[in-house]
Amino acid sequence: MSLSVSIYKQLGAFTLDVQFDTGGERMALLGASGSGKSMTLACIAGLVRPDRGRIVLNGRVLFDSERRINLPPQRRSVGCLFQSYALFPHMTVRQNLLTAVRRLPRAQREAAVAEKLRAFRLAGLERLYPRQLSGGQQQRVALARVFLSAPECLLLDEPFSALDSYLRWHTELELYDLLRPYQGDVLLVSHDRGEAYRLCETVCVLTGGRSEDKTDVHTLMAQPRTLGAALISGCKNVSRIRRVGEAQAYCLDWGVTLHCAQPLSAAHTHVGLRAHSLRLARGDEPNRFDARVLRVIDDAFSTIVMLASETGGALLRMELPKEDWAAQRGSSRVTLTVPPEQVMPLMGERL
């Protein structure tokens, strides 16, 4: 199984320029709103025509601008699950499923639908309408309908966005179990890095319509290489830098010098610090600096402290267990430290 995408499309002032290859894996497309994630899926599905480029699924060309190939959606063998699930509201569960196999002989249609009703735990719901189903049940119906068409690739466009947090978690567990036996490629569009981490093996970050190199989800969280990847992975603290040594960076936005565990190159323009990497100094740790406490926020399971270094500059966000901050309660100044291995050198646009 493989999917190769290399497409370009101009939409007013917005440019979509995306390249990636997959190999029978679950891959997340991550990026801020308006970065081109859903547009990329629409191009793969055949709902939007790129200006130029090429899309190949399992050796079969779906789109090639030079050869003037542009297969219609129904010939692409691509299954789509959208945010709304797109079930027909006036049809029952069974009728919705039958729309995916309407070209088969009646006996085969009935057998295929009956098998999917069992596989997707929908038995007993056949006569219900979408409005009578829970969000998780609607998603199972939508997925069963997609699988009835025997797709070679699945495109999931923020499938949990309309659900509350409790239902979202249970529906995610169900989706994971349903996808586990599937052998084709899966592309998941999401804003949620945790969702991508739990459901996918690899990730491609889109920034301003342009794709970065595909990486595995563990690397994205532990060692993002670019500014865009760090931000989408949840990094709360980012500063422009000026190199002052082989592995030393003066952080222009915080007014402090930090040592990194790895050498810096001319391509590194920023550093990132995760909020939990900042710690209260206890002794002679590296990367110590003094900071002013500007605001303390009591979160559900932790304490968030907003700070600024004594030399001024942009805010820093530190998150720590409530008991760790209890001894500092009321403090207006603290000494911070961050381990060099948790200072993340980043490549990105200079501001």
102: exposed, middle or buried (Cβ count in 10 Å: 0-12, 13-18, 19+):
exposed
Q: Which domain holds residue 266?
A: 237-347
State the Cα angle at 289 between 285 and 290, rounded to 5°.
125
Least confident interval from 127-136, 161-170, 327-336 = 161-170
Asked whether residue 167 falls in the same domain as residue 295, the answer is no
Res. 350: pLDDT tops 60: no
Asked whether the beta carbons of 334 and 280 are under 8 A apart, the reply is yes
Quote the pLDDT of residue 47: 93
Q: Is pTM, for the whole model, over 0.85?
A: no
- List pLDDT tens digits, range 250-291: 999 999 999 999 999 999 999 999 999 999 998 889 999 999
More confident residue, 169 or 315: 315
What is the share, in percent, of the chain residues with pLDDT greater than 90? 67
**What is the average pLDDT value for the chain, to the nearest integer?**
91
- CA-to-CA distance for 284 and 277, rounded, in angstroms? 17
Res. 179: pLDDT tops 90: no
Asked whether residue 290 falls in the same domain as residue 226, the answer is no
Asked whether residue 30 falls in the same domain as residue 121, the answer is yes
Asked whether residue 225 falls in the same domain as residue 287, the answer is no
Quote the pLDDT of residue 89: 93
Asked whether residue 222 falls in the same domain as residue 262, the answer is no
Quote the pLDDT of residue 348: 83
State the Cα angle at 278 between 275 and 282, rounded to 5°.
155
- CA-to-CA distance for 302 and 183, rounded, in angstroms? 40
- List pLDDT tens digits, range 27-37: 999 988 899 99
Asked whether residue 228 falls in the same domain as residue 246, the answer is no
127: exposed, middle or buried (Cβ count in 10 Å: 0-12, 13-18, 19+):
exposed
Asked whether residue 11 falls in the same domain as residue 140, the answer is yes
Quote the pLDDT of residue 121: 85
Asked whether residue 184 falls in the same domain as residue 245, the answer is no
Quote the pLDDT of residue 205: 93
- CA-to-CA distance for 348 and 351, rounded, in angstroms? 9
Quote the pLDDT of residue 351: 38
More confident residue, 205 or 180: 205
Asked whether residue 223 falls in the same domain as residue 254, the answer is no
- List pLDDT tens digits, range 105-132: 989 999 999 998 988 889 999 999 999 9
Res. 51: pLDDT tops 90: yes
Kindly state the average pLDDT of the residues 12-25: 94
Q: What confidence category does residue 162 fall into, taking pLDDT thresholds of 50, 70 and 90?
A: low
Quote the pLDDT of residue 66: 96
Domain end (from 198, 216, 232): 232
Res. 347: pLDDT tops 50: yes
Q: What is the residue-wise DSSP string for 117-151?
A: HHHTT-TT-TT--GGGS-HHHHHHHHHHHHHHT--
Asked whether residue 209 falls in the same domain as residue 300, the answer is no
Q: How many domains does the chain have?
A: 2
Least confident interval from 5-14, 42-51, 136-145, 302-311 = 136-145
Q: What confidence category does residue 349 fall into, taking pLDDT thresholds of 50, 70 and 90?
A: low
Asked whether residue 215 falls in the same domain as residue 112, the answer is yes
Quote the pLDDT of residue 283: 84
Report which of 178, 214, 184 is spatially closest to residue 199, judged by C-alpha positions. 178
Res. 74: pLDDT tops 80: yes
- CA-to-CA distance for 223 and 94, rounded, in angstroms? 47
CATH of the domain at 306: 2.40.50.100
- CA-to-CA distance for 246 and 258, rounded, in angstroms? 12
Domain end (from 232, 262, 279): 232
Q: Which of 133-137, 161-165, 218-222 is the most confident on average?
A: 218-222
Res. 165: pLDDT tops 80: no
CATH of the domain at 190: 3.40.50.300
Res. 9: pLDDT tops 60: yes
Strands (E), 267-338: 268-273, 279-280, 289-298, 303-309, 316-320, 333-337
- List pLDDT tens digits, range 198-240: 999 999 999 999 999 999 999 998 889 999 999 999 999 999 9
Quote the pLDDT of residue 203: 95
- CA-to-CA distance for 100 and 49, rounded, in angstroms? 24
More confident residue, 163 or 103: 103
Domain end (from 232, 262, 295): 232
Asked whether residue 31 falls in the same domain as residue 98, the answer is yes
